[in-house]
Amino acid sequence: MIALRHVSCASLLLVGGLAVPVLAQQSQESCVTCHGSFSDARLGGPVRAYTEDVHAAKGFGCVACHGGDALDLGMTAMDPAKGYVGVPGREELLLVCGRCHSSAGFMRRYNPALRVDQVAEYRTSVHGELLLERGDERVATCVDCHPAHAVKPPSEPTSSVHPLNVAETCGRCHADRDYMQSYAISTDQHDKYLLSIHWEKLSVEGDLGAPTCNDCHGNHGASPPGVTWVGNVCGQCHSVMAELFNKSRHSQVFAMLGNPGCATCHGNHEIKPAGDEMLGIGEGSVCGMCHAPTDAGGMAAAEMRSLVDSLKFAHAVADSLLSKAENAGMEVSQAQFELSGATTALINARTGVHSFAVDHVREAVDEGVEVALSAQARGRSALGDLRFRRLGLAVSVGIILILIAGLVFKIRQLEPAKARQT
């Protein structure tokens, strides 16, 4: 039945001469003349919305997708013999959109940087599989994410696929409990994502490179990451952590236990900022979820936490001393620059935790502590200099005051009070 639908759809498009990409048209179409006059949203809405569509900007008209004869002013313009396809069906959309978007030769004339594998990817997605193999027309297809007649590029802030709008676009279905009921998947991803550090980076800090739904799940080929390759998804950005994790024993153990890699400790949609409290076996630690304080893993976790804390403390002391000296007007910028080496070491130590090897963490911590101690010494020296300066100032001003008093005395000697008054 599904195969039959494919064939009939393709035949219709072939008959209509739409199997090859169409060229942009500049002239006014008869479709716009009639449909533009309809106040009805269904008939007139598309014409009004289309004025802001990226395809309209490139010069494509209605017939590019709907077929028909744009020069015919009568109802015969919508004659199937003239290639008119009307409103494409859910599955037909792949052919309608893919006709241009899957053709590298055609697309390079309009947007050479745009990929042409969207339809191919879509066929591999959960959406595509459900639509094409099970005939489930409730799943998302092209126009659900790129609204027909109002398609805008992702760079456009009002676009449904702009990074700031992607979560809302996906959430329109995935956060709708009633709509998603038959799929037996949770609907809290959207709400959880809005609590994550990724959304905070994106929405508060305006970092458009921060991940949203499609960055982890893929966009046209959307599907949930597999348990064994979650790390590859996170590793797109967190590459060093992912590499260390993949080499670690935990990578294999997690896979055996069916734990989803990074998400085991960090969660998936509601990813909170990673903090040192996650390390160790105390309250709030994630290691403690599996390890006991007395087992080898628990002791290693506690030791790693202790190492990281020691570097953090040394760094904080150095930073405080240098800030105090700087606020007092001492020149400590070189020492502050050198302390950034300890900051880097702290980052390396925290990253090194993903190797789950104490020695790896210790190496970074030792390096950082050495730098921090050197900065502490420079901070103390600067504060010592400051005390010396103030003491020197007091002595100098004292000497100057004595000299001034001597001069005043001398003037009084030279000019007795009576003479000064005259």
Give residues in contact with another protein (CB under 8 A): 329-335, 389-390, 392-393, 396-397, 400-401, 403-404, 407-408, 410-411, 414-415, 422
Of 289 and 417, which CB lies nearer to another protein in the complex structure? Answer: 417
Of 301 and 332, which CB lies nearer to another protein in the complex structure? Answer: 332
CB atoms within 10 A of CB 137: 11
Q: What is the DSSP string of 361-420?
A: HHHHHHHHHHHHHHHHHHHHHHHHHHHHHHHHHHHHHHHHHHHHHHHHHHHHHHS-HHHH
Q: What type of residue sits at position 211? A: P
Task: State the nearest-atom distance from the C-beta of 57 to another protein, in Å.
Answer: 32
Contact 31, 50 (CB under 8 A): no
Task: State the nearest-atom distance from the C-beta of 376 to another protein, in Å.
Answer: 16
Task: State the nearest-atom distance from the C-beta of 408 to another protein, in Å.
Answer: 7
Task: State the nearest-atom distance from the C-beta of 331 to another protein, in Å.
Answer: 4
Of 179 and 409, which CB lies nearer to another protein in the complex structure? Answer: 409
Of 213 and 325, which CB lies nearer to another protein in the complex structure? Answer: 325
Cα distance between residue 241 and residue 218, in whole Å: 21
CB atoms within 10 A of CB 334: 10
Task: State the nearest-atom distance from the C-beta of 274 to another protein, in Å.
Answer: 31
First to last CA, the chain: 125
Task: State the nearest-atom distance from the C-beta of 164 to another protein, in Å.
Answer: 24
Of 176 and 331, which CB lies nearer to another protein in the complex structure? Answer: 331
Cα distance between residue 17 and residue 46, in whole Å: 23
Of 127 and 378, which CB lies nearer to another protein in the complex structure? Answer: 378
Tell me how many degrees the CA angle 320-322-325 measures, rounded to the nearest 5: 110
Cβ neighbours of residue 114 closer than 8 Å, sequence gap 6 or more: 101, 107
Task: State the nearest-atom distance from the C-beta of 402 to another protein, in Å.
Answer: 10
Of 64 and 330, which CB lies nearer to another protein in the complex structure? Answer: 330
Task: State the nearest-atom distance from the C-beta of 404 to another protein, in Å.
Answer: 5
Cβ neighbours of residue 209 closer than 8 Å, sequence gap 6 or more: none
Cα distance between residue 385 and residue 390, in whole Å: 9
Contact 385, 332 (CB under 8 A): no
Of 62 and 335, which CB lies nearer to another protein in the complex structure? Answer: 335
Place of tokens 């005939």: 135
Structure tokens at 56: 């309209």
3-state SS assignment for residue 66: helix
Structure tokens at 70: 């744009």
Of 273 and 406, which CB lies nearer to another protein in the complex structure? Answer: 406
Task: State the nearest-atom distance from the C-beta of 325 to another protein, in Å.
Answer: 10
Cα distance between residue 319 and residue 173, in whole Å: 49
Which H or E run includes 117? none
Tell me how many degrees the CA angle 246-248-254 measures, rounded to the nearest 5: 75
Of 2 and 401, which CB lies nearer to another protein in the complex structure? Answer: 401
Task: State the nearest-atom distance from the C-beta of 375 to another protein, in Å.
Answer: 13
